[in-house]
Structure 1
Amino acid sequence: MNRILSQTKGDRWIWLIVILLSVISALAVYSSTGTLAYKRGVGAESILIKHMAMIFGGIALMYVSHKLDYRYYSGISKVLMMVTIPLLLYTLLFGNHVNDASRWIAIPGTGLTFQTSDLAKLSLITFLARSLSRKQENIKDVKESFMPIMGSVCVVFILIALANLSTALMLFGVSVLLLIIGRISIKQIAVVCLAGAVLLAGVIFLGPRRKTYASRIQTFMHPSKVDRDKSFQSDHAKIAIATGGIFGKGPGNSTERNYLPHPYSDFIYATIIEEYGLIGGFSLVLIYLFLLYRCIKIVTKAPKAFGALLAAGLSFSLTIQAFANMAVAVGLGPVTGVPLPLVSMGGTSILFTSVAFGIILSVSRHIDEYEDNRKVVIGEIREKEVAA
């Protein structure tokens, strides 16, 4: 055990948060997949085993990602962007269609699907961190700095938004936050927001899923005026939360898991509250808030702009996604397909989330090494001063 701990570097609290969220995920997924297992004709244990394999695979990727010096991700980001944009185009044209949305592509020979927006989030955030850190000296130059940054944000946004508007909006929000941190002028940020608003209006009113978006907004704004079938998910999520009470029904005692279409992914937070009560739900909120706090500490301590921007972008992305999922579950937002990071059952989402955690830990590891080296140098200087 000591040998394993000695090999893991970076913020120990983030490692603990990852382990804690993984345990919560295993308990919640096992409890909420009974109906899914019945439909597939398998035992719930087999689904749990596959889910645990993804969790352990994610932890392995996180370990590898945190061992790699975060500065290497600057060069990797260019390759990721060159791969991401064609993949997003391919997904829109030839991807697997589920609920009138083309978000996944099949991985040949594995029977698994790959959601390209997960890769796009990681790619765009690392690319923006690289661009903003490298162009700090002429950051206000429109042609050299602003246009390439704006172009990358808008292209990725529109390619994701056509099939997955909620993810695109969250990624756009994170991008704007990075632009603010990266000292882009208010006028230029306003231009980016205006371009995003135009693209958003085009997707909502002219896009292939415009009827779906209109229906979800109408259901959220006026639930009493729509068919009960359209508000089925949100209604049963509210029932789960209301019947959970303060202390919950206990692990494995959820009843709404048998009615909710996706109690193990999109509405797993409602299942957790039903079984563990408001105490369990509030504890999960505190975990994500504490994660954000630890990441902000990393951002403020990072000696280089790239590391600070990288940690900020990835941490904002994870926490915004978490609170978006929880907001939908408790009825504070229209229904979306956003998973709860490291808790919802999923494949590529768990793996890419784990890589994001690994990159944050890589920045944290570099800070620790930087401070250790600084202490050694200061000690040597003091020794020389005493000797003199």
Structure 2
Amino acid sequence: MNVIKDWAYKNLKGDPVIWFIVFLLSMLSILVVYSSTGSLAYKMMEGDTEYYLFKHSALVMLSLLAMWVAHKIDYRYYAKLSRLALWLSLPLLLFTWQFGTNINEASRWITIPLINQAFQPSDLAKLALVITLASMLSKRQKSIDDFQKAIIPILVWIGLICALIAMTNVSTAILLFGTCMLMLFIGRVPMKYLAILMIIGVIAGGLALTFGQRTGTAVSRVQSFFDEDETPFQAKQAYIAIATGGLTGKGPGQSDQRNYLPHPYSDFVFAIVLEEYGLIGGITVLFLYLALLYRGMKAAAESHRAYGGLLSAGLSFALVMQAMVNMGVAVGLGPITGLPLPLISMGGTSQLFTGLALGIILSVSRGEIDDIGSPLANNFKAKERIKEAA
């Protein structure tokens, strides 16, 4: 036991509570995904019911590895990398809109050659935009009232990325836009400029609904949500799962609705959590996400740099807001979306980018890298001193 503690102390830096929450949710993810994919694996993989278990477990381990690598790097380095990733995401989003791979009646993916793995460019764009926005806001704090120099570049990036994402994924674009609004508010952007951003968002959203691929689906889901006489099939099955789960649930692997509920391993995985682990399990998961938000905001508050604070706050909001939307949809508090539950839903590259985001939050929570003798830290410090002297 002492050996494990010593290894964790040396290798797992940053907020230990965040590490604990991520490990708990990751283990729950493996259990729930294995339970909810049993029937699918039996049909699709000729009786190999462990296929998705091993695949998902490997992706969970990969996301944890990405999280570990990301937290070892000083968070200040991500600012330059994010701008490159943001420029790269523009042609990828355009390509996805026109030529993306259609999965579950949505063209949101690009299939990576050789490994034959689906990649969702919006995941890259979301992470890059939040990091870039944190960098831009922190550099413009002294001139935040200058609309032309400080605000316009920020508004252009937000409007462009959110509009391109909305062409194929309206719910993700709306959630990202909301995250950006919160970051601008935290970054002391005047309210009049936030109002301008809202107008830009409405215009961009209207264009996306006009030319986008999922306009009809988005409109029909909103109409179904407000129509008391029409409950979508997915929602009905989710309600049955929740109702039969009761207070303590049916137990791990004992779900019945996994055989009827569409996508019980991704969009509606929280319904399976409630069915198997009951209201107690559902509240525990909710508490873990709220604790994750609190610890992310704590890291933001304790950061000595505006960039670090905005970065941790933005990434924490993005992850937890998505979790809240997913859970809200499962229990009938919002229209159906295609948003997965971070850290729990089965996914591909989305899990990898979730791990990267959490690793960056941990990098902020550990502070600037100041290990004596570290070439990376010393090189960065030397550049910082040169800038200050200039």
Output the TM-score relative to the length of structure 1. 0.92
Match of 2:20 among 16, 21, 30: 16
How many pairs does the alignment contain? 366
**TM superposition outliers: structure 1 runs of 4+ over 4 Å:** 367-370
Q: Matches of 1:367 and 1:326 in 2, distance apart?
A: 35
Determine which of 152, 156, 176 is the counterpart of 1:151. 156
Which runs of structure 2 are paired with 1:335-374 in the superposition (5 Å)?
Answer: 335-366=336-367
1:209-249 deviation per Cα after TM superposition (whole angstroms, max 9, x unaligned): 2221221112111141x4x6xx1100000000011111111
Rounded Cα–Cα distance in structure 2 between residues aligned with 1:269 and 1:100: 22
Which residue matches 1:191? 196
Q: CA deviation at 1:103?
A: 0.5
Give the C-alpha shift of residue 203 in structure 1. 2.9
After superposition, the Cα gap between the structure-2 partners of 1:263 and 1:183, relative to the gap in structure 1 and judged at 3 Å, is: same
The equivalent position to 1:3 in structure 2, one of 7, 17, 24, is 7
CA contact (8 A) 1:88 1:117 kept: yes
Confirm whether residue 160 of structure 1 aligns to residue 165 of structure 2: yes
Q: Which shows bigger deviation, 48-57 or 35-44?
A: 35-44
| Aligned match for 1:38, one of 39, 42, 47 | 42
Q: Deviation per CA, 1:13-35: give whole Å up to 9, x if none.
A: 00001100011101101111012
Distance 1:109 1:47 in 2: 20
Contact 2:169 2:214 (C-alpha < 8 Å) held by counterparts: no
- Give 2:242's aligned residue: 241
Q: Which consecutive unaligned segments of at least 5 residues does structure 1 have?
A: 371-388
Find the residue that maps to 1:249 and give its secondary structure. Answer: coil
CA deviation digits over 1:320-346, x for unaligned, max 9? 000000001001111111011110001
Q: After alignment, is 195-204 or 326-335 more displaced? A: 195-204
Q: CA deviation at 1:36?
A: 1.1
2:315 corresponds to which residue? Answer: 314
The separation in 2 between residues aligned to 1:203 and 1:235, in whole angstroms, is 30
Partner secondary structure for residue 201 of structure 1: helix
* Percent identity of equivalent pairs: 50
Offset at residue 200 of structure 1 (A): 1.8
Alpha-carbon contact 1:100-1:209 (below 8 Å) kept? no
Compute the displacement of 1:207 (Å): 3.4
How far 1:176 sits from its partner (Å)?
0.4
* Bigger Cα displacement from structure 2, 72-81 vs 198-207: 198-207
Question: Within the alignment, does 1:90 sit opposite 2:95 as a pair?
Answer: yes
2:387 — aligned with what?
none
Task: Name the stretch that deviates more: 294-303 or 1-10.
Answer: 1-10
* Cα shift at 1:194: 1.0
TM-score (norm 2): 0.91
- The reply to whether residue 207 of structure 1 matches residue 212 of structure 2 is yes
Match of 1:79 in 2: 84
The one-letter code sitting in structure 1 at the alignment partner of 2:251 is: G
Gaps of 5+ in 2: 372-390
* Pairwise CA RMSD: 1.5
- Distance in 2 (alpha carbons) for counterparts of 1:44 and 1:137: 58
Q: State the distance in 1 between where 2:265 and 2:104 align.
A: 18
